[in-house]
Chains A and B, each alone.
Chain A
Amino acid sequence: MASNEEILTGLAEIVNEETGLAPESVEMDKSFTDDLDIDSISMMTIVVNAEEKFGVRIPDEEVKNLKTVGDAVNFISGAQA
């Protein structure tokens, strides 16, 4: 099971791969849409890659609740527990 810090690092790598954003710009309080300018298609790609990387399932109806990077990290952390 990964710590929140490890999840953040892994998520930042996925975001970088998909969007080219610097991994260090992917911080807990950043909004995927407003701060990182990630559109819905990129968001779904990130979600699917995160599912594979962390071995969790993120239901489609849950994705709209993942507004910030922190929301995603907490969801993944909870799903791993």
Chain B
Amino acid sequence: MPRKVVITGLGATTPIGGDVPTMWANSLKGVSGARTIEADWVEKFELPVTFAAQIATPASEVLSRVEAKRMDPSTQFAVVASREAWRDSGIEEVDKDRLAVAFATGIGGVWTLLDAWDTLRDKGPRRVLPMTVPMLMPNGPAAAVSLDLGARAGAHTPVSACASGTEALHQGLELIRSGKADVVVCGGAEAAIHPMPIAAFASMQALSRRNDAPELASRPYDTGRDGFVMGEGAGALVLEAEEHALARGARIYAELGGTSVTADAYHITAPDPEGLGATRALKAALFDARAQASDVVHVNAHATSTPVGDKPEYTALRAAFGAHLDSVAVSATKSQTGHLLGASGAVEAVMTVLAIHDRKAPVTINLDNQDPDIPLDVVTEARDLPSGDIVALSNSFGFGGHNAVIVLRSI
């Protein structure tokens, strides 16, 4: 038997809450984090999309000025979330040589990169700050978290677009199972609400254009869905070998039973319409967790609210679960948070851990007319999950054909 891995600490900074308690309370209520962007660059560049789900609590309110100065916003979010998760875990002493980090990002330090490019063009090379490269590198969040906690068993950065945050948990599980670490701080961070990525995502017709009603724009499974809503923030989870957690009398939220990562090898951006790669990921993750499809009571779906993306995930879920899918409570929390890209999997993992621990499934908002081609049991009002042993999944899929699934189990 592989080592059992449990989750003992949670952290998050998101558009619907700057910490886990706020985010979780809001996610059960059903709120939207999407707003019109109050920045001069929206008008300056005449962006076709004028809203996003921006962070609820600016990192500048949590970090010191000097600390924040040396970090890209994505790294700031990672440090905020991981500090909360670390405090929450209650770990006081740990062998730092056995403490690892797996912190993902989808895009990396895009603000730093493009600010430095503007500086180069406007003021010349002398004015490009010496911290530019360490701030823009995609491993910046993982490195900063490692430095902050003194984690010396390795600092890893899975990069698989919107599957990145979930893949970080996959990596964390492997690090503990293989005996390379006893504790891993996992997560994902993203800060890409910048005019260039907005223009680029809009150009590929991926973003909702509901500029007149941002709160209604992210509507997974609804017939009126017209694209995803850009989000930002970070989620963080402390993974711990079960024997390590038990030895210190830790509060355990849930077990990370299994994970799986597959690739479609179908198209660089379009999901495989038959969802074959996602189906394989779902089945493999259940197998990895030694769970049956019939054990699963809740799924936090990837469900980004794009016309083409939501359906193949349903097809995959149906293929993996069969008739049992009709008794699975499915939540599409991007309806509230927007799409946090490389952070989404980590934030949704936090929610799924809490769903298991508190036996409550979070809410999907804006589902007015459910797409008849996606007959899922969608949670539209906070719903109690059954008592007894339960299993829940969280899915993430990313450009590049990345599919990542985690399986969580009650303790």
Contact = CB atoms under 8 A, between A and B. Distances in A.
Interface of A: 18-20, 41, 44-45, 48, 51-52
Contacts of A18: 66, 69
Q: Chain B CB within 10 Å — which of A19, A41, A51 has the most?
A: A41
B127 A52 contact: yes
B129 A48 contact: yes
18 contacts: A18-B66, A18-B69, A19-B66, A20-B64, A20-B65, A20-B66, A41-B130, A41-B131, A44-B130, A45-B129, A45-B130, A45-B131, A48-B126, A48-B127, A48-B129, A48-B130, A51-B126, A52-B127
Contacts, number: 18
Interface in B240-265: none
Contacts of A48: 126-127, 129-130
Contacts of B65: 20
A45 B64 CA distance: 18
Nearest to A43: B130
A20 B69 CA distance: 10
Contacts of A45: 129-131
Is the contact region of chain B dominated by helix, strand, or loop, or is it mixed? helix
A41 B126 CA distance: 14
A61 to B, nearest CB: 14
Interface of B: 64-66, 69, 126-127, 129-131
B365 to A, nearest CB: 42
Given A45-B130, A48-B127, 7 more contacts: A20-B65, A41-B131, A45-B129, A45-B131, A48-B126, A48-B129, A51-B126
Contacts of A20: 64-66
B315 to A, nearest CB: 50
Contacts of B127: 48, 52
Nearest to A40: B130
Contacts of B130: 41, 44-45, 48
Contacts of B131: 41, 45
Nearest to A19: B66
Nearest to B65: A20
A60 to B, nearest CB: 10
For the complex of A and B, 5 pairs with smallest distance between CB atoms: A20-B66, A44-B130, A41-B130, A41-B131, A45-B130
Contacts of B69: 18
Contacts of A41: 130-131
B403 to A, nearest CB: 39
A18 B69 CA distance: 8
A66 B130 CA distance: 18
Contacts of B129: 45, 48
Nearest to B126: A48
A24 to B, nearest CB: 17
Contacts of B126: 48, 51
Nearest to B123: A52
A79 to B, nearest CB: 15
